[in-house]
């Protein structure tokens, strides 16, 4: 056993997907029915996902990632998990599901590097938009973060992404999150930082 | 398996001669502060090591205080300045730079949070302190100027003679963190004109957990570690005799071999730099092209991320470090590179090769064989 596999910071599964990533978008001829990209090189992580869809099922997926070992491995794992899924199933893939299949990631890696599911959702959004179809999945993946004011993660994501909320103060002004019981403040702050990172704003 | 260690700025392999000196010293177990023969034997070993360290710095023996390493030496200086300010000194401001080691950057942040006034002199694109900006910052309210001799990440060497002169012209004390410089350049505390200088044994083939602080005779001082009367009351704590002996040997070798080592490391570094520039497109070499620690080469690889490069090199037995955020666990890449005006993306893709005495041309050849395909593969995967 080499030094590399002994006491590595990541699991063997992460190592395998990092050293031998699956479904990398290397063939320039690959024609994507839907395309999604999240993150930025300035943030240190960027992911690009292309999907081919038949009968609302993902029949093939290719990706590219700029980032650390866990970013590359988690996108690779996501690609293996997503191929063969229906659009609905694929839309509901979460970072936790990907991380679990990888056998876990160091805590500080979880939020910044597992963006594959978001790139995949962006690709599905793009596919449905190109087909001029409604997106029946979007609402169902929304999680209520502030129960008092009914603020969802999607609403926060949207406000950060579109730069309507560039600061937490602005976000509070718009959504009134955390103004009643205040229980959600930490969670909102975490999400706010995460979306700022993902959308490089 | 081939192993190539190119992370000598993180720490070095102990010199075999140092290991011998350490092993011999284990026989002498007395407390160097004791009056009996056991103690006297240990005390003699400590004093001999002190002389070796002092000689390597151009200092007098009693100007050398043993500490646990670079961080303690740095903290001692900032703590004594804090004491002076608390005691009502007229001078209440400290100037340092934006690229100091965390032992200083974090100490300054801590002091700043408690209301102490700290200013940070900026650096240019090569990582050199902008002397004009430093001059503008100086005034008769400045107590201390602290600027590192050679940077741990980029290797950029500062003009400590000029900075000392500037500081002293304004009546300020001068400290330099020379942790990376020892053994890689001539050090002469008198010629440099510094009041305090920090060093750490494990950066020059000595043991870990032992360092020293040079304190110019007559410079203000206050013990950071209080307790027993060791070091003339300047640093409490039982002498770590063995480590001190190891440091003494390492210091003696460092100054004896500095010319040879400078040439050796610079030649290897330049071979590596030329090889990388010839085999990988678009690379950016960070730091100063000439005023650079001889063994340090910091390179950015656009389109490939630092942690990924580091781990792939690690797979082939090559040890380096990176300024990427991913390796630090924060979202921000190296503040040293950013302070030098480097693009954030380039900082994420930065790799530091730091060569040492035990590296060979074959090591460089091995890196030049493994590195280009790794960068090519990561760029293929990348969204570049």
Question: What tokens were used for A198?
Answer: 């993902």
Q: Any idea what DSSP says for residue B372?
A: H
Same domain flag for B372 and B273: yes
Candidate from B307, B326, B382 with C-beta closest to A65: B382
Residue A135 CA to residue B216 CA, distance in Å, equals 73
**Closest CB to A66 among B312, B333, B382:** B382
Q: Do A177 and A98 fall within a single domain?
A: no
A113/B326 touch (CB, cutoff 8 Å), yes or no: yes
The pLDDT value given to residue A197: 80
pLDDT tens digits along B189-247:
999 999 999 999 999 999 999 999 999 999 999 999 999 999 999 999 999 999 999 99
Give B256-313 as a 3 state SS string: HHHHHHHHHHHHHHHHHHHHHHHHCCCCEEECCCCCECCCEEEEECCCCCHHHHHHHH
> Residue B265 and residue B222: Cα distance in Å, rounded?
38
Among residues 69-88 of chain A, which lie with CB inside 8 Å of chain B?
69-72
Contact A69 B307 (CB under 8 A): yes
pLDDT the model gives residue A144: 84
d(CA A70, CA A47): 12
Among the candidates B234, B254, B274, a domain finishes at B254
Structural domain span for residue B351: 4-12+257-381
Give me the residue label for tokens 């890196």: B367
Give the residue from B254, B284, B312 where a domain finishes. B254
Return the bridge partners of A62, or none: A50
Q: Judge whether B2 is closer than 8 Å to chain A, CB to CB.
A: no
Q: Per-residue pLDDT for A200 more than 80?
A: no
| Average pLDDT value over all residues in chain A | 88
- Give me the residue from B303, B315, B324 closest to A44, CB to CB: B324
Domain annotation covers residue A186: yes
User: In terms of pLDDT, which residue wins out, B152 or A3?
Assistant: B152
B300 touches chain A (CB under 8 A): no
Query: Does residue B274 share a domain with residue B176?
Result: no
B328 CB-near residues (< 8 Å, 6+ apart): none
Full residue range of the structural domain in which residue A164 is found:
142-199
- Secondary structure (DSSP) of B185-196: B---HHHHT-SE
Select the residue from B2, B323, B334, B381 to test the A interface by mutation, using most A Cβ atoms within 10 A: B381
Q: What CATH number does residue A174 fall under?
A: 1.10.10.1100
Contact of B80 with B221, CB cutoff 8 Å: yes
Both structure tokens of A155: 């609403």
CATH number at residue B124: 3.40.640.10
Q: Give the pLDDT score at A2.
A: 53
What amino acid positions of B are annotated as catalytic residues?
326
φ, ψ of residue B348 in degrees (nearest 5): -65, -30
Measured between CA atoms, the residue of chain A closest to residue B380 is A26
Residue-wise pLDDT for A121-150, tens only, equals: 999 999 999 999 998 888 777 788 888 888
pLDDT confidence tier of residue A1, bands split at 50, 70 and 90: very low
Are B204 and B264 members of one domain? no
What rounded mean pLDDT belongs to chain B?
Answer: 96
Residue A197: φ, ψ to 5°: -65, -45
CA distance A196 to chain B (A): 11
The CATH number linked to B268 is 3.90.1150.10
Residue-wise burial string across B251-263, b where 16 or more C-beta atoms lie within 10 A, e elsewhere = bbbbbebbeebbe
Q: Looking at the structure, tell me whether residues B232 and B301 fall in a common domain.
A: no
Alpha-carbon gap, residue A82 to A80, rounded angstroms: 6
Chain A residue at shortest CA distance from B350: A44
Residues A25 and A116 in one domain: yes
What's residue B279's pLDDT?
98
DSSP-derived 3-state class of residue A151: strand
Number of domains in chain A: 2
Per the structure, the count of domains in chain B is 2
Q: Is residue A1 part of a domain?
A: no
The packing angle between helices A69-82 and A12-19, to 10°, is: 90
From the CA of B240, how many Å to the nearest CA of chain A? Answer: 31
User: How does pLDDT run across B131-163, given as a tens digit for each residue?
Assistant: 999 999 999 999 999 999 999 999 999 999 999
Are A35 and A122 found together in one domain? yes
Q: What is the pLDDT of residues A169-190, one digit of tens each?
A: 999 999 989 888 888 888 899 8
User: For residues B273 and B265, what is the distance between their CA atoms, to the nearest angstrom?
Assistant: 12
> How many contacts, defined by CB atoms under 8 Å, are there between A and B?
80
């Amino acid at each position: 056993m080499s030094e590399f596999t002994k006491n590595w910071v990541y699991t063997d599964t992460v190592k395998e997907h990092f050293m031998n990533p699956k479904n990398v978008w290397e063939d320039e001829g690959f024609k994507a029915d839907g395309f999604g990209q999240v993150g930025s090189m300035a943030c240190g992580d960027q992911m690009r996902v292309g999907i081919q869809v038949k009968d609302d099922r993902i029949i093939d997926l290719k990706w590219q990632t700029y980032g650390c070992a866990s970013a590359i491995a988690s996108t690779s794992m996501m690609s293996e998990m997503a191929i063969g899924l229906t659009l609905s199933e694929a839309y509901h893939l979460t970072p936790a599901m990907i991380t679990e299949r990888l056998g876990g990631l160091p805590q500080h890696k979880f939020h910044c590097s597992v963006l594959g599911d978001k790139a995949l959702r962006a690709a599905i959004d793009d596919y449905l938009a190109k087909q001029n179809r409604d997106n029946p999945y979007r609402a169902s993946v929304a999680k209520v973060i502030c129960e008092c004011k009914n603020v969802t993660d999607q609403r926060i994501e949207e406000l950060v992404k579109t730069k309507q909320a560039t600061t937490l103060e602005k976000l509070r002004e718009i959504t009134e999150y955390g103004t009643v019981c205040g229980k959600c403040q930490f969670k909102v702050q975490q999400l706010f930082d995460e979306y700022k990172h993902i959308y490089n704003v | 398996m081939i192993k190539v260690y190119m992370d000598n700025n993180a720490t070095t392999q102990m010199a075999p001669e140092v290991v011998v000196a350490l092993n011999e010293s284990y026989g002498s177990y007395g407390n160097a502060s004791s009056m009996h023969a056991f103690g006297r034997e240990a005390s003699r070993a400590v004093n001999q090591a002190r002389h070796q360290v002092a000689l390597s710095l151009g200092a007098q023996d009693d100007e050398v205080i043993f500490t646990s390493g670079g961080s303690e030496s740095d903290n001692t200086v900032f703590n004594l300045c804090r004491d002076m300010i608390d005691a009502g000194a007229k001078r209440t401001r400290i100037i340092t730079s934006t690229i100091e080691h965390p032992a200083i950057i974090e100490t300054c942040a801590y002091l700043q949070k408690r209301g102490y006034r700290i200013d940070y002199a900026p650096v240019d694109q090569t990582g050199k302190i902008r002397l004009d900006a430093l001059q503008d910052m100086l005034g008769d309210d400045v107590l201390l100027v602290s600027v590192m001799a050679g940077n741990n990440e980029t290797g950029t060497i500062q003009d400590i003679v000029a900075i000392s002169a500037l500081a002293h012209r304004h009546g300020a004390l001068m400290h330099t963190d020379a942790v990376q410089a020892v053994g890689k350049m001539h050090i002469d505390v008198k010629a440099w004109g510094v009041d305090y200088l920090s060093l750490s044994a494990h950066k020059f083939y000595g043991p870990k957990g032992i360092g020293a602080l040079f304190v110019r005779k007559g410079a203000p001082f206050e013990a950071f570690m209080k307790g027993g009367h060791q070091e003339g009351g300047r640093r409490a704590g039982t002498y770590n005799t063995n480590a001190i002996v190891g440091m003494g040997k390492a210091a003696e070798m460092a100054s004896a071999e500095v010319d040879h080592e400078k040439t050796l490391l610079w030649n290897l570094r330049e071979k590596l730099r030329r090889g990388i520039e010839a085999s990988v497109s678009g690379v950016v070499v960070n730091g100063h092209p000439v005023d650079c620690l001889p063994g340090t080469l910091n390179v950015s690889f656009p389109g490939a991320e630092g942690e990924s490069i580091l781990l792939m090199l690690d797979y082939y037995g090559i040890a380096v470090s990176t300024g990427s955020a991913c390796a630090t666990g924060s979202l921000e890449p190296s503040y040293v590179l950013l302070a030098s005006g480097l693009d954030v993306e380039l900082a994420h893709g930065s790799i530091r090769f730091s060569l040492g005495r035990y590296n060979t041309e074959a090591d460089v050849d091995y890196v030049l064989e493994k590195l280009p395909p790794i960068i090519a593969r990561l760029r293929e995967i990348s969204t570049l």
